[in-house]
Structure 1
């Protein structure tokens, strides 16, 4: 895992890469939230930093980061708006129960991201005084186009110096200035002027376009006719960027009033998020279901979620209900300025809306903070109960619904930030009947992954002969069957977690379920094998990172080892094909969604070799045979031999916690090597290779007393060998207990656990003695090493506090500070599947 390459300066880890996002945290909980209605606004306790709504792949993943669903727009896991707005008509009254209109703008003077021909003058030499004045002399300045950047892929004018001075003219025709905003994006420091007057000054950069009137200074200095914008931008580190325009914000004033539905409760299950609302004299139950059934591959792999509406009368009288879903075309773009085309379809008894970019750059983008801009987003509903239409924005679609004018239109329209509008007549509810209905939302990526230069389709269409509209039809027809399976599995998962670790543990782990799975994509390799490929969300964007596979493994070991094998096959192929020739495993296969070979800049020899060998043994333990390891025995043997030579006392290198920097003689990494060597001995036993088994088991056992002696620091074991006064969580030792190796004396675990509990801060046990941050997945592994429920729950309580109090409102971050509860960058990552370690251990030792 990587946030950035790091270096040590004066004992402090500094990020070389400039853009360490100050993003937020996320999670979800298995209990019900009570809400109270205040005089002016609703209030809700924080159950989760972010609430999962639609969760399938790294690209099709929509969340709410508000405790009240109507308090803001729904967002992609990266935090960018992907708006779903819900309105219900009860009799003749309207209530908004989901989302909030995303601000929309009309261009007055387009920025460079909107128009290819926005001209500017610029210089990289200090122009002296009064260069920002309207009549300034610009002789010697160069001509160019916006945007300006050092990235040749996005720049129309390249910029490579520290400073640049820019002037842009535009015409303003006058009129009402209400809603006028400067549209600005800059990287880094800036001083901005309009007609010679300073508008804005900032040290630092902005991640996205800023829309502002700068405290009415825009109106004060704007004139009818020719205007001059001038900016001095200074680069201090990292990238360079500048773009600017003038926009007018659109305001919605509806003819009919829309009340805000009173949110009464929120409940989160493994595969469902359920809201209850009061809407006049009715109750609305709103359920989001992403049927991520790990043991039903055909359902798991179709990227289709359900939204279910159930209305009941609270006064015993009949009430008629109709719901509207307004879905933004932004779900199918990387940035809102991209042109899209939307159309209406009819597929038998299912009406469909479809939208995608005009450009369709299939697999054309890779990296971390990016969204999909190829393929198509669909919304479907039963034709006999639904009306669907397309509109240029959400305001138009909502207004049509309010006026009773929303009707099926067989259109194909183009534009930006279009709205896909679906109204479903739920019927009439009274004291004895519910009014119900559902919609299906899906995403057809067309091609999901490039795997060693071969473009692979999603699993559901691996033969290339399937049609997504038909898949939507099938998913809708199977609604009742799928819901039955989901409810049964949700109950089973909850019960297993409660039995294994209690209520707090269940809450934490249920938060992790959908998030972990949706950070992967499933495809079939050219060798006709299942691949389950992860993305390193907000930690560098790598695909199929081994040290993400390792912590996420318990969830898949417990529910479907084929998926864990699918995480490992690509890494085995990389070595066995001769493309990777080192005597230890690669770190990754590339940068998502391009898996053409490792792109991480440095190897993690002991870390990745150890991870792969341990997981092969864990699979054998669950499967009851070592057939998977046998397929890759030569490669596993090379890695085990490397660990036997170099694993016990590791050289100066990175481990999975690479944000902490390089460390020689890492005690926890040594423990991993010992576990891997013992795992190899176990696999050899299973394969009947008695001499090999005897050799490696003996080797692992012989390392234990040496490890204890070199790491001993009185009441605990140190961070690195012979480094007194330091400590770290030895979470890698958990396999000794889980796989029944039992080569470490029990007092080792008890000594460590007792010490960790003394180090706890408000939001958990730090990762080690160097910093106050922690990794919650490793805390879960550490907790599994306890020998009583009381100690186990002592590790859970601070994590419950963390998810309830963190100010970072994003899908669950596995890396947070234990003192202030703030995210340390990672979010929405697959590694939270590691929360299931305690449940996996319990299941493994109690299954019949």
Structure 2
């Protein structure tokens, strides 16, 4: 918990760099900078890449801004408590719900207002279009097609429910003066907003009002020149039916969120600590906010047997189903939803199986979101498991490729997953990856024995005379020192899958070594032979490999 003095807000479990608000898929990804959490009324939420989105507004001189009491995030919800006078409000955002819970000691009359503008559609120009029907494309990572859904419903606790569209200043002034949003204005103006207002009357007990924000797109992604649609459209084929169900399902979703949060909390504490739990709570929302589950498109999509999951590389250039992205999220999906790993790999192997890629190693990604049209760029080795059967000939090709020493054990100058150090030769971590991949492939193909024994083939637990750690290069094991290392996170899948490519003593040795080279503040450096780069998520992968042995 972060708690400031003099009655200032407190934050649970800590004050993050950014709070997830509505984080549902690559195009509904609204965040609030942590630096603005203590002064919520004038704060401006942001799209994940940094564009300002229209949100709360507390700059009107005639409005007394509320005071923030607390902020909290979990793996499923973000909660802010604010107070004004003797009334208290709780803003609760599980997934893409915005719930405002109001209470008052003296039965004060309360009105609740919420609004959005065209920035939520990815359009910041003047006279932005209300309905965007352009085919799949992006500008600055924001979708230029589909519809933004903003909805609310009059509950029994609301005595007056109104809505309007019009110029921002006029709409807000109308609410401030009369407590409602009515008399629609010109929606085509550059500063037009859409607003809802709930009049709750005199409130004594806690009363909740729910709003819904979402991005509805019939076509989610183009895969091999065929459009694919979000999975939910098999059940809810239009925005109205989808939002009706979403509102109706609030109580069930709220309960499920609580159950999930508790299970994840307990799991994080049992395997790590409170700090690990705090990181994991944000990580879950980041991961699921980057993926979309799809089926083939159509007027009435119903092919539930052809399910594919696509993940957008939000950290850099928007690549689709990048191998280097799927691997780091493997631990999360292994625990929460193992089937997602197969669904993420399925688009890749289907594309590879067409024969378009002429190299004898897998491709790096499927293209740039939202066009998974593929290309023939490839990465030299990766971990393939659980894909035998239909793809046996494809996997055999990769076995043959990695079995050549210059493609696996002694790889020429090559980029790694962390590419900041630039291309490097004979990277031990890549050699470990190749060795583990070979044994994973052997398991998939039902070979009688392992294809590679890391303990006897040049990658064993030796570097200096004290046998303290793996060398950073497969060729310098007799010419290294206490700082000649790289983070060997590719040991993790070997332990996870129980392949036994490397002896447990090698994993334990490397784990013990990390404590001697980890910076007190920054963490574990990726490699000693390039400028310091901290790969925190990969350091966790390396640590998890050791944890699985304990």
**Same fold at TM > 0.5:** yes
Aligned to 2:224: 452
Shift in Å, 1:704 = 4.1
Aligned to 1:397: 171
Aligned to 1:572: 349
> CA, structure 1 residues 365+743, in 2 after alignment: closer, same or farther (shift >3 Å)?
closer
Aligned to 1:271: 76
Q: Which runs of 4+ in 1 moved over 3 A?
A: 32-38, 41-46, 405-412, 426-429, 525-528, 702-705, 709-714
Q: Secondary structure at the match of 2:170?
A: helix
Shift in Å, 1:709 = 7.0
Task: Give the Cα separation in 1 of the matches to 2:489 and 2:343.
Answer: 24
Q: How does 1:324-723 map to 2 (within 5 A)?
A: 324-334=113-123, 336-337=124-125, 339-341=127-129, 355-357=130-132, 360-365=133-138, 369-383=140-154, 385=158, 386-393=161-168, 395-404=169-178, 406-409=180-183, 413-430=187-204, 433-461=205-233, 466-525=237-296, 528-598=305-375, 602-606=377-381, 610-611=382-383, 613=384, 616-617=385-386, 628-645=387-404, 646-684=407-445, 689=446, 692-694=447-449, 697=450, 699-701=451-453, 704-708=456-460, 714=466, 715-723=468-476
- Structure 1, residues 111-161: CA drift from partner, whole Å, max 9, x if none? xxxxxxxxxxxxxxxxxxxxxxxxxxxxxxxxxxxxxxxxxxxxxxxxxxx
> CA, structure 1 residues 402+727, in 2 after alignment: closer, same or farther (shift >3 Å)?
same
Task: Give the Cα separation in 2 of the matches to 1:750 and 1:562.
Answer: 30
The equivalent position to 1:737 in structure 2, one of 495, 503, 508, is: 495
Q: Is the 8 A contact 2:162 2:180 kept in 1?
A: yes
Task: Give the Cα separation in 1 of the matches to 2:485 and 2:29.
Answer: 38
Q: Structure 2 stretches of 5 or more lacking a match?
A: 298-302
> CA, structure 1 residues 42+556, in 2 after alignment: closer, same or farther (shift >3 Å)?
closer
Q: Secondary structure at the match of 2:188?
A: strand
Q: Secondary structure at the match of 1:488?
A: helix
The normalised TM-score by structure 2 is 0.89
Aligned to 2:526: 767
Task: Give the Cα separation in 1 of the matches to 2:28 and 2:472.
Answer: 40
Task: Give the Cα separation in 2 of the matches to 1:500 and 1:58.
Answer: 30
> CA, structure 1 residues 707+269, in 2 after alignment: closer, same or farther (shift >3 Å)?
same
- Structure 1, residues 758-804: CA drift from partner, whole Å, max 9, x if none? 222212111111222212210111221335xxxxxxxxxxxxxxxxx
- Structure 1, residues 423-455: CA drift from partner, whole Å, max 9, x if none? 12345432xx21222111121123221111122
Task: Give the Cα separation in 2 of the matches to 1:629 and 1:525.
Answer: 24
Structure 1 residue 47 and structure 2 residue 18: aligned? Answer: no
Q: Secondary structure at the match of 2:20?
A: strand
Q: Is the 8 A contact 1:389 1:409 kept in 2?
A: yes
Q: Secondary structure at the match of 1:325?
A: strand
Q: Secondary structure at the match of 2:138?
A: coil
Q: Secondary structure at the match of 1:701?
A: coil
Task: Give the Cα separation in 1 of the matches to 2:462 and 2:272.
Answer: 33
Q: How does 1:90-489 map to 2 (within 5 A)?
A: 254=61, 257-290=62-95, 305-313=96-104, 316-334=105-123, 336-337=124-125, 339-341=127-129, 355-357=130-132, 360-365=133-138, 369-383=140-154, 385=158, 386-393=161-168, 395-404=169-178, 406-409=180-183, 413-430=187-204, 433-461=205-233, 466-489=237-260
- Structure 1, residues 255-284: CA drift from partner, whole Å, max 9, x if none? xx3222221211111110111122211221
- Structure 1, residues 524-543: CA drift from partner, whole Å, max 9, x if none? 14785211111111412211
> CA, structure 1 residues 451+721, in 2 after alignment: closer, same or farther (shift >3 Å)?
same
Q: Secondary structure at the match of 1:548?
A: helix
Shift in Å, 1:668 = 0.4
Task: Give the Cα separation in 2 of the matches to 1:35 and 1:709.
Answer: 48
Task: Give the Cα separation in 1 of the matches to 2:435 and 2:501.
Answer: 10
> CA, structure 1 residues 490+443, in 2 after alignment: closer, same or farther (shift >3 Å)?
same
Bigger RCO of structures 1 and 2 (CA < 8 A, at least 6 apart) = 1
Q: Is the 8 A contact 1:426 1:437 kept in 2?
A: no
Shift in Å, 1:47 = 1.4
Q: Is the 8 A contact 1:387 1:424 kept in 2?
A: yes
Q: Secondary structure at the match of 1:642?
A: helix
Q: Structure 1 stretches of 5 or more lacking a match?
A: 1-31, 86-98, 102-252, 291-304, 342-354, 618-627, 788-840
Task: Give the Cα separation in 1 of the matches to 2:111 and 2:353.
Answer: 58
- Structure 1, residues 714-747: CA drift from partner, whole Å, max 9, x if none? 5322221234242111111012222223342333
Q: Is the 8 A contact 2:361 2:401 kept in 1?
A: yes
- The CA RMSD measured in Å over matched residues stands at 2.6
Q: Is the 8 A contact 1:35 1:265 kept in 2?
A: no
Structure 1 stretch displaced more, 71-80 or 713-722: 713-722
Aligned to 1:67: 37
> CA, structure 1 residues 499+401, in 2 after alignment: closer, same or farther (shift >3 Å)?
same
Which one has a larger percent strand, Structure 1 or Structure 2?
A: 1
Shift in Å, 1:713 = 7.0
Shift in Å, 1:387 = 1.3
Q: How many residues align?
A: 526
Q: Secondary structure at the match of 1:73?
A: coil
Aligned to 1:79: 50
Shift in Å, 1:320 = 2.7
Shift in Å, 1:375 = 1.3
> CA, structure 1 residues 84+716, in 2 after alignment: closer, same or farther (shift >3 Å)?
same
Task: Give the Cα separation in 1 of the matches to 2:510 and 2:260.
Answer: 36
Q: Is the 8 A contact 1:339 1:414 kept in 2?
A: yes
- Structure 1, residues 432-480: CA drift from partner, whole Å, max 9, x if none? x2122211112112322111112222222259x8110121111111111
> CA, structure 1 residues 381+641, in 2 after alignment: closer, same or farther (shift >3 Å)?
same
Shift in Å, 1:418 = 2.3
> CA, structure 1 residues 271+78, in 2 after alignment: closer, same or farther (shift >3 Å)?
same
Q: Secondary structure at the match of 1:443?
A: strand
Q: Is the 8 A contact 1:36 1:264 kept in 2?
A: no
Q: Is the 8 A contact 2:24 2:288 kept in 1?
A: yes
Shift in Å, 1:42 = 6.8
Task: Give the Cα separation in 1 of the matches to 2:27 and 2:465.
Answer: 47
